[in-house]
Structure 1
Amino acid sequence: MPSQQRASMAEPRRACPQARVQVCVRLRPCSQGDPCIRGLNSRSLEIINWRNKKETMQYQFDTFYGDKATQHDIYTGSVQPVLRHLLEGQNASVLAYGPTGAGKTHTMLGSPEQPGMVPRALRDVLQMTREASCLPEGEEWSYSVSMSYLEIYQEKVLDLLEPSHQDLPIREDRDRNILIPGLTERELGSFGDFERYFLPASCNRTMASTRLNDRSSRSHAVLLVRVAQAQRVPPYRRRVAKLCLIDLAGSEDNRRTGNRGLQLKESSAINASLHVLSKVVDALNQGLPRVPYRDSKLTRLLQDSLGGSAHSVIIANIAPEQHFYLDTLSTLNFAAKSKQVVNRPFTQETLPAPAVRKRPSEDPAAGGEGVSPGAKRPHEDESPEAEPLSSLLPLEQLDPGLVQRLLGLEQLEKQQGGGGRRLPLLNTPRRERVALLRQLEETRSELQKLKEKQKELEAAALLDKARRPKPLQHSKAPSRPCKQAVVLPLQQVQTPLGKEAMPKGGEEILVVQKVGQVEGSGAENEAPAWELTLRPDLLARSRKNIVALLNEGSTKELRTLHRIGDKKARLIMAWRQLHGPFTQVEDLEKVEGMTAKHVASFLKANLLSSLGSLSPPAPASPRAPQ
Structure 2
Amino acid sequence: MLKRGSVMDASSQSKKAAPARVKVGVRLRPYMSQEENKLQNCCVRGLDDQSLEIINWRNQLETMKYQFDAFYGDDSTQQEVYARSVEPVLSHLLDGQNASVFAYGPTGAGKTHTMLGSPEHPGIIPRAVKDLFQMTRSENSSSDHWTFKVTMSYLEIYQEKVLDLLEPKHQDLPIREDQDKNIFIPNLTQKIISSFSDFENYFIPASQNRTVASTKLNDRSSRSHAVLLIKVQKREGFSPFRQFTGKLYLIDLAGSEDNRRTGNQGIRLKESGAINSSLFVLSKVVDALNQGLPRIPYRDSKLTRLLQDSLGGSAHSVMITNIAPGQKYYFDTLTALNFAAKSKQIVNKPFTQESNHMPSFVPIKRQREGKEPSTTAPQPNKKLKSESGEESPKPTESSLSTFLKTEGLDSSVVERLLNLEQMLMKKGLKGIPLPRTPKGERLELKRKVEESQIVIQELMEKQRELEAKALAADSGLDQSPNPGDKCQTPEHDAFQCKVKPLQRSAASCTIQRKQAIVQPLQVQNQNTPVSPLGEIAIFKKERLKKKVPCDGSENEANWGMNINADVVEKTRSNLLHILNTGDLKELKSLHKIGDKKAKLIFGWRKINGPLSKIEDLQEIEGMSAKMVASFIKVNLLSNL
TM-score when scaled to structure 1?
Answer: 0.58
- Does 2:357 correspond to 1:352? yes
- Alignment equivalent of 2:81, drawn from 63, 74, 92: 74
* Deviation per residue, 1:198-225 (Å, 9 max, x gap): 0000000011111100000000000000
Matched ranges for 1:539-618 at <5 A: none
| Residue in structure 1 matched with residue 341 of structure 2 by the alignment | 336
CA distance in 2 between counterparts of 1:491 and 1:242 reads: 88
- Report 1 or 2 for greater relative contact order, CA contacts < 8 Å, sequence distance ≥ 6: 1
Q: Are the equivalent residues in 1 in contact too, given 2:223–2:272 (CA < 8 A)? A: yes
Q: Identical aligned pairs, as a percentage?
A: 62
Structure 2, unaligned runs of 5 or more: 1-6, 359-488, 499-513, 525-535, 545-553, 558-625, 631-640
CA distance in 2 between counterparts of 1:332 and 1:73 reads: 21
Greater Cα radius of gyration, structure 1 or 2: 2
| Residue in structure 2 matched with residue 507 of structure 1 by the alignment | none
* Deviation per residue, 1:314-341 (Å, 9 max, x gap): 0000001111111111000000000000
* Deviation per residue, 1:400-443 (Å, 9 max, x gap): xxxxxxxxxxxxxxxxxxxxxxxxxxxxxxxxxxxxxxxxxxxx
| Residue in structure 2 matched with residue 25 of structure 1 by the alignment | 26
| Residue in structure 1 matched with residue 168 of structure 2 by the alignment | 163
Q: Are the equivalent residues in 2 in contact too, given 1:249–1:270 (CA < 8 A)? A: yes
| Residue in structure 2 matched with residue 119 of structure 1 by the alignment | 126
Q: Are the equivalent residues in 2 in contact too, given 1:483–1:496 (CA < 8 A)? A: no
Q: Which runs of 4+ in 1 moved over 4 A?
A: 474-478, 487-501, 513-516
* 2:95 partner letter: E
CA distance in 2 between counterparts of 1:127 and 1:105 reads: 24
Q: CA deviation at 1:348?
A: 2.2
CA distance in 2 between counterparts of 1:483 and 1:50 reads: 113
CA distance in 2 between counterparts of 1:112 and 1:487 reads: 101
- Alignment equivalent of 2:55, drawn from 18, 23, 48: 48
Q: CA deviation at 1:352?
A: 3.4
Equivalent position SS for 1:46: strand
* Deviation per residue, 1:374-411 (Å, 9 max, x gap): xxxxxxxxxxxxxxxxxxxxxxxxxxxxxxxxxxxxxx
Q: CA deviation at 1:239?
A: 1.1
CA distance in 2 between counterparts of 1:117 and 1:484 reads: 94
| Residue in structure 2 matched with residue 183 of structure 1 by the alignment | 188
- Alignment equivalent of 1:9, drawn from 5, 8, 11: 11
CA distance in 2 between counterparts of 1:490 and 1:265 reads: 87
Q: CA deviation at 1:50?
A: 4.0
Q: Specify whether residues 223 and 495 from structure 1 end up closer, same or farther in structure 2 by C-alpha distance, changes over 3 A only.
A: same
- Does 2:148 correspond to 1:143? yes
Q: Are the equivalent residues in 1 in contact too, given 2:57–2:327 (CA < 8 A)? A: no
Equivalent position SS for 1:320: coil
Equivalent position SS for 1:486: coil
* Deviation per residue, 1:467-520 (Å, 9 max, x gap): xxxxxxx9544822875253759999998896999xxxxxxxxxxx9879xxxx
CA distance in 2 between counterparts of 1:220 and 1:196 reads: 21
Q: Are the equivalent residues in 1 in contact too, given 2:515–2:543 (CA < 8 A)? A: no
* Deviation per residue, 1:284-308 (Å, 9 max, x gap): 1111111111110000000110001
TM-score when scaled to structure 2?
Answer: 0.57
Equivalent position SS for 1:112: coil
| Residue in structure 2 matched with residue 486 of structure 1 by the alignment | 518
Matched ranges for 1:528-547 at <5 A: none
Q: Are the equivalent residues in 2 in contact too, given 1:485–1:496 (CA < 8 A)? A: no
- Alignment equivalent of 2:222, drawn from 214, 217, 220: 217
* Deviation per residue, 1:172-212 (Å, 9 max, x gap): 11211111110000000111100000000000001111110
| Residue in structure 1 matched with residue 588 of structure 2 by the alignment | none
Q: Name the count of aligned residue pairs.
A: 386
| Residue in structure 1 matched with residue 266 of structure 2 by the alignment | 261
- Does 2:92 correspond to 1:60? no
| Residue in structure 1 matched with residue 460 of structure 2 by the alignment | none
Equivalent position SS for 1:348: strand
CA distance in 1 between counterparts of 2:106 and 2:537 reads: 95
CA distance in 2 between counterparts of 1:490 and 1:235 reads: 84
- Alignment equivalent of 1:103, drawn from 87, 110, 121: 110
Q: Specify whether residues 496 and 24 from structure 1 end up closer, same or farther in structure 2 by C-alpha distance, changes over 3 A only.
A: farther
Q: Are the equivalent residues in 2 in contact too, given 1:486–1:496 (CA < 8 A)? A: no
* 2:21 partner letter: R
Q: CA deviation at 1:112?
A: 0.4
* 1:35 partner letter: C
Matched ranges for 1:222-261 at <5 A: 222-261=227-266
CA distance in 2 between counterparts of 1:22 and 1:490 reads: 97
Equivalent position SS for 2:290: helix
CA distance in 1 between counterparts of 2:523 and 2:340 reads: 86
- Alignment equivalent of 2:300, drawn from 295, 303, 312: 295
| Residue in structure 2 matched with residue 544 of structure 1 by the alignment | none
